Amino acid sequence: VQLVESGGDLVQAGGSLRLSCAASGFTFDDFVIGWFRQAPGKEREGISCISASDGSTYYSDSVKGRFTISSDNAKNTVYLQMNSLKPEDTALYYCAAEPQYGSDWSPSDPFGDFASWGQGTQVTVSS
């Protein structure tokens, strides 16, 4: 399993960015792909995930209404469109993958169990 994030940048508050997570080495359609972030001195936070098989999406309260997750199964890529960015969105953003079935992943705890991770892409939002 290989996950490669891209799209992180320095942006002003109120701006937008689109992150990409390119996946390889597994059957993309069978997996849930999640976006997580970790700010300095804070715990890692799950913010959004998507089922590549049925398109179900999940969002944390902190990003709901501002961020949109989508997948292009033909390209094995998941995107995170981030709008109305705030300084508190500054973090290292990671994508992660977990089989949707036959694993410990559950829609009742959508950010709870991911085994495969990318290296991360930095998002910095200036005030």
37 vs 102: which has the higher pLDDT: 37
The answer to whether 115 and 98 are in contact (CB under 8 A) is: yes
CA–CA distance, 103 with 94 (Å, rounded to integer): 20
- Given a cut of 90, whether residue 102 has pLDDT beyond it is no
- Confidence bin at 113 (pLDDT 50/70/90): confident
CA–CA distance, 99 with 112 (Å, rounded to integer): 13
